[in-house]
Amino acid sequence: MQMMTAAVLNAAPGGLQIEQLPIPEPRANEVLVKVHATSVTRSDCGFRAADPFFSRIFIGLLRPKRRIPGMELAGVVEAVGAAVTEFDVGDEVFGIRGGANAEYVCVREQGALAHKPAGMSFEEAAAVSDGGIIALACLKKADPLKGRSILIYGASGAIGTAAVQLAKHFGAAGITGVCNTKNLELVRSLGADVVIDYTQEDFTKNGETYDVVFDAVGKHSFRRCRRSLKQNGIYIETDLGFMWHVPLLALATRWIGDKKATLPIPSYTKENILAIKELIEASEYRAVIDRRYPLEDVVEATTYVETGQKTGNVVLTVT
């Protein structure tokens, strides 16, 4: 049996280690991808810590159902199942599939997998999907964005860096990015017209109002942002919030008041991965990579992502 190196979650809460596991075999409708690069995302950290608690219903009550963490991947098709028509052995691909923090992963042909844009490195391709798809799902809630003003709070995270670029693509008139001092230039270079350093200025107190306020890092609140929203403005959140109040708030503001809150749920589909590919090929979206670690250093990489202070994305390289 041929073996591969993989990150493996163990039964202890938060336990993570490197192990040798058998290389999986693709089913008829799957391709086997030899992973060249993968990533550690905030979602991966959430699954690892079973946070929020109810996620245990999906990820396993007592221990993780899927032992290998990771979602984002970029690599080369090593083998294809008998029914696969879209991909061939040797194709360079990228996408999202649980269990990506390993040397090999099987992905459904119809899943969130696409050919890698030409000229893009595996590392970049492993860092575009999660933040990009979440940002797309969130900005769709403010559709049409053309001609409307948007403030993106947490503009330096994986979702935030994608959101600034996509807001520009969708024609937002006036993009304000809020981030720490060290990321002001980056956020400006991604397309923000105005950047606010949250360590120096509280945007909720500067008298400006926006059509859309997007909290891309789950650190703000509808209550505090209300006065920064124009009439009929929309507040977009990425996190469940204190005591998971955001879904209830989203429900209540459908009927009460003229300012809405929403918590979009992204879907990792072929359609969305192709949308990301199209944006990359049109030079409308690129990955921001903070740090790179070898797969073997997955614990160190995860510890860094858990600080909540990464800029953009953290990539694992697989040799």
Query: Contact positions toward ligand NAP, by CB under 6 A?
Result: 41-43, 131, 134, 153-154, 156-160, 178-180, 183, 198, 216-219, 238-239, 266, 308-311
Q: What's 299's DSSP letter?
A: H
At closest approach, how far in Å is the CB of 11 from ligand NAP? 24
Structure tokens at 12: 């202890």
3-state secondary structure of 102: strand
CB 109 within 8 A of CB 84: yes
Q: Which residue, 23 or 213, is less far from ligand NAP as judged by CB?
A: 213
Nearer to ligand NAP, 37 or 106 (CB): 37
Q: What angle do CA 56, 131, 141 make, to 5 degrees?
A: 90
CB of 26 to ligand NAP, least distance (A): 28
Of the candidates 279, 300, 310, 266, the one whose C-alpha atom is nearest the C-alpha of residue 96 is 266
Cβ closest to ligand NAP, residue 21 vs residue 217: 217
| Cβ 258 to ligand NAP shortest distance, Å | 25
Q: Which is nearer to ligand NAP, 42 or 148 (CB)?
A: 42
**Least separation, in Å, of the C-beta of 91 and ligand NAP?**
28
Q: Which residue is nearest to ligand NAP (CB)?
A: 157
**Nearest distance in Å: CB 235, ligand NAP:** 14
Q: Give whichever of 21 and 289 is closer to ligand NAP, judged by the CB atom.
A: 289
